[in-house]
Amino acid sequence: MNSRKNLFIFSYMALPVSLYFVFVLVPYLGAMAISLTRWTGTSTLDAIEFRGLQSFQRILSDEKFWSALSHNLLVLIVMPICTLALALLFAALFTQGLKGAKFFRIVFFFPQVMSVAIVAIVWGFVFHPTMGILNGVLNLVAQAFGRAGSNFPWLGNVNTVLPSVISVAIWQAVGFYMVLFIAGMQGIPEELYEVSRIDGASAWVQFWSITIPLLWETIRTAVVFLTIAAMDMYTYVTILTNGSGGPSRAADVLATYMYQQAFGGGNNSNPFGYGTAIGVVLLLIILMLSALGLRVTRREVNEY
C-alpha cells in the first residue's frame, strides 16, 4: 500500500520538478556561479575562467551601473508612493457603496491585464512630440490661456524620460493594488465602523484609525510587490526608449543595463560574466529591500 503511494507521488512529481529544476532553479543558481567567471559565452564550457569577485569589483567603479541603480531608486521612491495612494483612495471610495462603482472598478483594473509591451507602445504614442495626445491636451489648454503650444519630446528629454516611464508603470499598476485593497477592506467587520460612527468619528478619522491599521498586512504585501516591480522595469524602459535607455541613457535601469551588457554585443569583453554579476547584485538588492520593507512596516498584528 505504502509503496503504491510512494510510486504515485514520485510519478506525479517527477516531471514538474525536473522541468522546474532544469529551467528555473539551475538558471537562478547558475547565475551565482557564472558571475564569478570571465566568459564570452561564444565558446564551450571549457573556456570559462574563474575570476572570483573581479566582475563585482568592476561594478564598483562602473559609472553606468551606479547611474542605472540611481534610476531604480528614484522609481522605488516615486512609484510605490503614488500607486499606493491612488489605489487606497479608489479602494476606499469603492467600498463606500458609490453608484457605478462596479463600472469604474472594471475600467480601472483593465490596464493590469494588458501586456506591458502594448501598454508601452500605446504610451510611446501618447508621449510623441507632434502626434501624441499628451501634447495635444496641453496645447489645447495653452491655447485656452492664449499661449503658444509646444512639441515637447517627453521621451527625448533627459529630465522627463524617466518620470514619463514611471507614470506609465503607475498607470498600469493602480488597478491591481486597488482590487487587492478592496478585497482586504471587505474583510474588515462593519461593526467597527458602526461603533466609531456612534462615537462621532468622521470618515477621515475612520480611514486612518480603522481601515489602514486593519489593512496593514495587505499594504506590506503590496510594498514588497512594488519593490520588486520597481527594481524590474525592463519592458517599460526597453519599449518606451526603443531599447536605447533614453537620451544619454537617462532612463536606463539595472535590468536594461544588464541585458545590454549580456546580449547587447558592444565592447564588453566579458558579457555573460559581467551581465550575470549585475543580475546577482540586483537580486541581493531586491532581497535586502524586501526584508527592509517588511521590517520597517512591521507592527503588532491587529486581531479582529
Contact at 8 Å (CB) between 112 and 173?
A: yes
Task: Output the smallest distance, CB 206 to another protein, in A.
Answer: 14
Task: Output the smallest distance, CB 242 to another protein, in A.
Answer: 6
Under the binding rule (CB under 8 A), the answer on residue 257 touching another protein is no
Under the binding rule (CB under 8 A), the answer on residue 211 touching another protein is no
Lay out the site mask for another protein across 80-109 (x = CB under 8 A, - = otherwise): ------x--xx--x--x-x-x---xxxxxx
Q: Under rule CB under 8 A, which residues in 21-40 are in contact with another protein?
A: 22-28, 30-31, 34
Contact at 8 Å (CB) between 255 and 234?
A: yes
Q: Under rule CB under 8 A, which residues in 273-302 are in contact with another protein?
A: 275-276, 279-280, 282-283, 286
39 vs 49: CA distance, rounded Å:
7
Q: Under rule CB under 8 A, which residues in 156-195 are in contact with another protein?
A: 171, 174-176, 179-180, 183-184
Task: Output the smallest distance, CB 159 to another protein, in A.
Answer: 19
Q: Which stretch binds another protein (CB under 8 A): 52-60, 67-75, 121-129, 293-301?
A: 121-129
Under the binding rule (CB under 8 A), the answer on residue 44 touching another protein is yes
Task: Output the smallest distance, CB 212 to another protein, in A.
Answer: 17
Q: Which stretch binds another protein (CB under 8 A): 14-22, 66-74, 207-215, 292-300?
A: 14-22
Under the binding rule (CB under 8 A), the answer on residue 41 touching another protein is yes
Under the binding rule (CB under 8 A), the answer on residue 12 touching another protein is yes
In three-state secondary structure terms, 50 is: strand
> What number of other Cβ atoms are within 10 A of residue 225's Cβ?
18
Q: Identify the CA nearest to 64 among candidates 242, 258, 231, 241.
A: 258
Q: Residue 50's beta-bridge partner residues?
A: 37
Under the binding rule (CB under 8 A), the answer on residue 228 touching another protein is yes
216 vs 299: CA distance, rounded Å:
8
What's the chain's length in residues? 304
Antiparallel, parallel or unpaired: β 37-38 and 49-50:
antiparallel
Q: Which stretch binds another protein (CB under 8 A): 53-61, 155-163, 208-216, 238-246?
A: 238-246
Beta-strand (E) ranges in the chain?
37-38, 49-50
Contact at 8 Å (CB) between 129 and 135?
A: yes
Q: Which amino acid is residue 218, in one-letter code? A: T
Burial classification of residue 62, based on how many CB atoms lie within 10 Å of its CB (0-12 exposed, 13-18 middle, 19 or more buried) = middle
User: Which of 173, 185, 231, 250 touches another protein (CB under 8 A)?
Assistant: 231
With respect to another protein, which residue has the nearer C-beta, 157 or 221? 221
203 vs 205: CA distance, rounded Å:
6
Q: Under rule CB under 8 A, which residues in 129-148 are in contact with another protein?
A: 130-133, 135-136
